[in-house]
């Protein structure tokens, strides 16, 4: 212990330097999340990437054989792969437009006061709250070519004299996949956009109206900039959600007819669990994973640029 003399001649204790204590509680709280991410996300991704460079026979005891880029060469030279990617991008783009467009329209409606608005909001959230399997069962019954309810309205159209084959026609099947997926997802987008709309102060609208702005100018110069960041986030989320949509498409059409609704996730499932070509399926999975990463990376860059502009 170090001592020195003070004014009274008595030795005074000089405090010695101590190392700062490291509290283990934050690390212990973060440990379950790290274990979850590592075991259920990082490890499967790593195994999938490794499997894409191997030849794997699930039905035999033959150990995996390293084949390098053979699976990727097969994938890039496969015309069906490019057709599936084209179908996936088309489906994703249409769902983004329809789902977010419908969500924006309904959010603008529910942002205005009217009678029974809370009840209407609750009813609007029902499609999002319903599980996907019951939704598919309902729409399979609605689109049945013999006794489906939609046939009653279809025959009211000029030139329609018989029940259309809704899920057997390539164009109609794709249209209905987009409509069903959008109907299932749009309440979530509407709720998020509505929260962003309610965060815009009413005084801004009132001041613009005093200056003579019409509803279109209010929407263009106040509403859109006010919810711009929210819309960008929702576009990325809708892109990711629709890109990996599986249940609705698989249960409704299985990717048919003639591959018209076969997206990348349907192709991965069919390749792995119907044709048992696991190695090629992992390569397809890596391709889909890379596309998702590109989408997420684009959003990060967009947010970084917006932060620099507002700084």
Q: What is the pLDDT of residue 21?
A: 60
pTM of the predicted protein model:
0.84
The mean pLDDT of 150-176, rounded to a whole number, is 86
Residue-by-residue DSSP string for 220-270: IIIIHHHTHHHHHHHHHHHHHHHHT--HHHHHHTTT-STTTT--HHHHHHH
Q: Which of 131-145, 193-207, 276-290, 294-308 has the lowest mean pLDDT?
A: 294-308
Structure tokens at 102: 């419908």
**pLDDT band at 183, cuts 50/70/90?**
very high
Give per-residue pLDDT as tens, 64-122.
888 889 999 999 999 999 999 999 999 999 999 999 999 999 999 988 888 888 888 88
Structure tokens at 111: 């942002």
Highest averaged pLDDT of the listed ranges 56-65, 257-266, 298-307: 257-266
Structural domains in the chain, CATH included, are 30-49+59-310 (1.10.3720.10)
Q: How many helices (H) and strands (E) does the chain have?
A: 16, 4
Q: Which residue has the higher pLDDT, 173 or 163?
A: 173
Residue listed under structure tokens 């440990």: 31
Q: Which residue has the higher pLDDT, 275 or 21?
A: 275
**pLDDT band at 7, cuts 50/70/90?**
low
Q: What is the pLDDT of residue 85?
A: 93
Angle, helix 79-110 to helix 117-124, in steps of 10 degrees: 170
């Amino acid at each position: 212990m170090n001592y020195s003399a003070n004014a009274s001649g008595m030795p005074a204790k000089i405090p010695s330097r101590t190392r700062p204590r490291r509290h283990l509680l934050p690390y212990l709280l973060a440990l379950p999340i790290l274990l979850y991410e590592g075991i259920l996300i990082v490890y499967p991704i790593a195994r999938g990437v490794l499997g894409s460079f191997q030849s794997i026979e699930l039905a035999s005891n033959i150990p995996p054989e390293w084949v390098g880029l053979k699976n990727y060469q097969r994938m890039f030279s496969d015309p069906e792969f490019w057709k599936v990617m084209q179908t996936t991008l088309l489906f994703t783009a249409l769902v983004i437009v329809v789902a977010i467009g419908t969500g924006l329209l309904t959010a603008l409606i529910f942002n205005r006061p009217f009678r029974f608005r809370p009840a209407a909001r609750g009813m609007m959230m029902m499609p999002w709250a319903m599980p996907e399997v019951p939704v598919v069962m309902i729409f399979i019954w609605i689109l049945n070519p013999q006794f489906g309810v939609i046939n009653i309205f279809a025959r009211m159209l000029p030139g329609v004299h018989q029940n259309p084959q809704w899920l057997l026609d390539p164009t109609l099947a794709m249209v209905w996949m987009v409509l069903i997926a959008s109907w299932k997802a749009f309440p979530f987008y509407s709720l998020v956009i509505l929260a962003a709309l309610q965060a815009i102060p009413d005084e801004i609208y009132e001041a613009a109206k005093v200056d003579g702005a019409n509803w279109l100018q209010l929407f263009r110069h106040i509403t859109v900039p006010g919810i711009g960041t929210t819309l960008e986030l929702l576009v990325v989320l809708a892109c990711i959600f629709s890109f990996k949509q599986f249940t609705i498409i698989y249960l409704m059409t299985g990717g048919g007819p003639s591959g018209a609704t076969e997206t990348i996730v349907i192709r991965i499932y069919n390749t792995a669990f119907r044709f048992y070509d696991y190695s090629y399926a992992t390569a397809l999975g890596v391709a889909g994973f890379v596309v998702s990463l590109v989408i997420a990376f684009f959003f990060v860059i967009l947010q970084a640029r917006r932060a620099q502009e507002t700084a």
